[in-house]
């Protein structure tokens, strides 16, 4: 008998083999579907709806709660911008924890999308001498100021450029997102990000069921898996509904401002036009849409 | 300290419950009036703005006329004893040059007053603050000083100056920070 070693049969055999491997590994059909799922950006509306429905079911099973997972696209004519008043921030870290709760960040192992850097007033903005582990009785401390750092939502994001599988990209409203199902966990993006804003799930993420936020976006705060990268999305599940991000809402000193850069009447435009503004590591030409300003 | 905070929050709770019950007794017209009064602070008029909370009076202190209508007004600047001595004690707001009746009206005790002598409702206290802190008032009106919550493209809620700054001692109070991260993830 002639041995059939055409390219077609090779592919057929290998896919059969991997399917049986998957089946042997105890995967159910859903997991196989998930494994073979396309990149979010090429999914049809129908496919998106199906995937989201099955996710909602899966989460319900796991957490015993009703979930709403949105895939709402960017609004027309909106480019999000953020501004943080360095003259006001007192380093209380309330934003860090509000962010973690809103966005279902793993508590143990701990992942936090916002880091608050304590810096010496005498040295100015100086990452090399900054400290994120400050822990005094009361803040602010004499002689120090605080620089909260999260994803800077660069217009020219180096993390997007280096991703070998296009699992991360910039949306039309300027938010850089990750398709957790497409991320292969190579962490190139983490190496490329000059702001330490991307975080890797080294272990199985863990959020207590009673604390999980059931209002989710596919590209944002839905539960992540072990082995994928995650980051701030300007609370995409909130901002695309017109709401302020959680960190803006919680900040007790009102240091955090958010809005549409294309709206000349927005708070953010007022700041850019009337205040002294800076971006971090400007020399790298990442063009952050996260601005720091002095409101004084 | 913790205990005191707890006590304070219980008092606040009691106060707001009382307020809620009390405002339930007001007729609807009056409530509407309060709301519309509170909406007109945005200069371009594009977004609606509503107050988050009523002015933060100390418990049982308002209306001031409850007591003051029975007392002959004494406009002489003096140290307060018996009543409001607690405020006198913490008073730290250009205390060298100012005292109670520079902002509270001598005769109309339930009102504040501007330098011009114009009476002002407590709900509009930001106008009083703005007499000296004009640049802050300007920034506050556009949502840059102070805090806005709600919708970036729609209805927003605002706090009055006095919700964050005690008008008698306006420096923002220090806070206990939340715990530091457990992992070192240095910015590189
Ligand atoms: S909540 Fe506000 S004041 Fe506190 S650390 Fe965050 S930005 Fe700074």
For residue A156, report the distance from its CA to the centre of ligand 1, in Å: 27
Residue A22 CB burial class (10 angstroms; 0-12, 13-18, ≥19): middle
- Within-domain flag for A156: yes
Phi, psi angles (nearest 5°) of residue A66: -80, 135
% of chain A residues with pLDDT over 90: 86
A196·B186 Cβ contact <8 A: yes
- Within-domain flag for A260: yes
Q: Please tell me the distance from the alpha carbon of residue A4 to that of residue B135, in angstroms, as a whole number.
A: 82
- Within-domain flag for A148: yes
A contacts of B186 (beta carbons < 8 Å): 132, 196
Give the chain B residue nearest A241 (alpha carbons): B151
Residue A273's CATH number: 3.30.70.20
- Report pLDDT for A65: 94
% of chain A residues with pLDDT over 70: 95
Dump pLDDT digits (tens) for A140-180.
999 999 999 999 999 999 999 999 999 999 999 999 999 99
Query: Strand pairing of A68-70 and A215-217?
Result: parallel
A contacts of B177 (beta carbons < 8 Å): 91-93, 134-136, 138-139
- Within-domain flag for A276: yes
For residue A236, report the distance from its CA to the centre of ligand 1, in Å: 20
Residue nearest to ligand 1 atom 1, measured at CA: A251
Give the chain A residue nearest B45 (alpha carbons): A265
Q: Please tell me the distance from the alpha carbon of residue A269 to that of residue A259, in angstroms, as a whole number.
A: 8
When mean pLDDT is compared across A117-131, A262-276, B42-56, B134-148, the lowest value belongs to B42-56
B144 in contact with A, Cβ within 8 Å: yes
Let me know whether A188 and A262 are in one domain.
yes
Let me know whether A106 and A153 are in one domain.
yes
By C-alpha distance, which of A92, A118, A143, A41 is closest to B186? A118
The reported pTM is 0.84
- The total number of structural domains that make up chain A: 2
- Within-domain flag for A224: yes
Write the DSSP string, A7-38: HHHHHHHHHHHHHHHHHHTT--HHHHHHHHPP
- Within-domain flag for A47: no
Domain region containing A208: 73-296
Q: Please tell me the distance from the alpha carbon of residue B96 to that of residue B169, in angstroms, as a whole number.
A: 13
Q: Please tell me the distance from the alpha carbon of residue A150 to that of residue B122, in angstroms, as a whole number.
A: 39
For residue B166, report the distance from its CA to the centre of ligand 1, in Å: 20
- Within-domain flag for A116: yes
Confidence check: pLDDT of B26 > 70? no
- Report pLDDT for B28: 36
Task: Report the pocket of ligand 1 as residue ranges, CB < 6 Å.
Answer: A 89-95, 116, 146, 148, 250-251, 253, 255-256
Residue B17 CB burial class (10 angstroms; 0-12, 13-18, ≥19): exposed
Average pLDDT value for chain A: 93
- Within-domain flag for A59: no
Let me know whether A32 and A158 are in one domain.
no
Let me know whether A123 and A194 are in one domain.
yes
Nearest neighbour of B185 by CB, restricted to A130, A196, A248: A196
Nearest neighbour of A133 by CB, restricted to B147, B152, B180: B180
Residue A151 CB burial class (10 angstroms; 0-12, 13-18, ≥19): buried
Q: Position of tokens 């695309």?
A: A240
Let me know whether A78 and A18 are in one domain.
no
Let me know whether A271 and A183 are in one domain.
yes
Q: Which two tokens stand for residue A24?
A: 């042997």
Question: Do the interacting molecules here have an ipTM over 0.90?
Answer: no
Dump pLDDT digits (tens) for B119-152.
999 999 999 999 999 999 999 999 999 999 999 9
What would the mean pLDDT of A177-188 be, rounded to a whole number?
97
Let me know whether A23 and A143 are in one domain.
no
Let me know whether A261 and A141 are in one domain.
yes
For residue A92, report the distance from its CA to the centre of ligand 1, in Å: 5
Q: Please tell me the distance from the alpha carbon of residue A203 to that of residue A184, in angstroms, as a whole number.
A: 15
Displacement of CA A245 from its chain's centroid (Å): 12
B28 in contact with A, Cβ within 8 Å: no
**Cα–Cα distances in angstroms (integers) from residue A275 to residues A13, A269, A272, in the given order:** 64, 10, 6
Let me know whether A207 and A103 are in one domain.
yes
Let me know whether A82 and A173 are in one domain.
yes
Residue A268: count other Cβ atoms within 10 Å of its Cβ.
25
For residue B45, report the distance from its CA to the centre of ligand 1, in Å: 29
A132·B144 Cβ contact <8 A: no
Let me know whether A137 and A233 are in one domain.
yes
Dump pLDDT digits (tens) for A13-63.
777 777 666 666 666 777 777 788 889 999 999 999 999 999 999 999 999
Residue nearest to ligand 1 atom 6, measured at CA: A95
A260·B152 Cβ contact <8 A: yes
């Amino acid at each position: 008998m002639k041995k059939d070693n055409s390219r077609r049969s090779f592919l057929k055999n290998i896919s059969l083999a991997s399917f049986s491997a998957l089946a042997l590994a105890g995967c159910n059909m859903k997991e196989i579907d998930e494994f073979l799922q396309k990149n979010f950006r090429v999914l049809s509306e129908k496919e998106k709806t199906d995937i989201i429905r099955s996710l909602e079911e899966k989460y319900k099973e796991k957490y015993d709660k009703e979930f709403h997972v949105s895939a709402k696209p960017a609004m027309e004519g909106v480019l999000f911008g953020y501004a943080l008043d360095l003259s006001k921030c007192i380093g209380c870290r309330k934003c860090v924890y509000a962010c973690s709760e809103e966005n279902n960040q793993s508590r143990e192992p701990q992942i936090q999308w916002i880091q608050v850097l304590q810096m010496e007033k005498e040295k100015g903005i100086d990452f090399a001498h900054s400290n994120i582990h400050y822990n005094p009785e009361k803040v602010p401390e004499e002689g120090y100021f605080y620089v909260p750092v999260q994803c800077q939502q660069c217009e020219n994001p180096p993390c997007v450029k280096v991703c070998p599988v296009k699992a991360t990209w910039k949306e039309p409203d300027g938010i850089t997102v990750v398709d957790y199902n497409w991320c292969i966990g190579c962490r190139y993006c983490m190496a490329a990000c000059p702001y330490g804003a991307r975080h890797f799930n080294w272990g199985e993420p863990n959020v207590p069921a009673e604390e999980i936020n059931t209002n989710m976006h596919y590209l944002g705060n839905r539960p992540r898996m072990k082995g994928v990268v995650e980051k701030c999305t300007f609370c995409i599940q909130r901002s695309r509904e017109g709401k302020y991000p959680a960190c803006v809402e919680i900040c007790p000193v009102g240091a955090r401002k958010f809005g549409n850069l294309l709206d000349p009447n927005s708070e953010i435009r007022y700041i850019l036009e009337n205040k002294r503004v800076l971006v971090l590591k400007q020399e790298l030409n990442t063009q952050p849409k996260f601005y720091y300003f002095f409101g004084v | 300290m913790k205990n005191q905070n707890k006590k304070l929050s219980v008092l606040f709770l009691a106060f707001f419950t009382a307020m809620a019950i009390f405002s339930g007794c007001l007729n609807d017209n009056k409530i509407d009036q309060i709301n519309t009064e509170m909406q007109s602070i945005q200069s371009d008029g594009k977004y609606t703005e509503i107050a988050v909370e009523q002015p933060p009076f100390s418990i049982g202190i308002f209306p001031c006329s409850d007591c003051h209508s029975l007392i002959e007004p004494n406009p002489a600047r003096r140290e307060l004893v018996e009543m409001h001595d607690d405020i006198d004690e913490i008073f730290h707001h250009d205390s060298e040059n100012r005292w109670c009746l520079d902002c509270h009206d001598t005769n109309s005790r339930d009102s504040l007053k501007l330098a011009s002598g114009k009476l002002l409702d407590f709900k509009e206290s930001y106008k009083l603050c703005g007499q000296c802190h004009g640049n802050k008032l300007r920034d506050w009106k556009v949502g840059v000083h102070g805090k806005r919550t709600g919708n970036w493209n729609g209805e927003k809620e605002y706090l009055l100056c006095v919700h964050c700054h005690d008008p008698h001692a306006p420096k923002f109070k220090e806070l206990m920070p939340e715990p530091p991260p457990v992992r070192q993830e240095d910015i590189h």
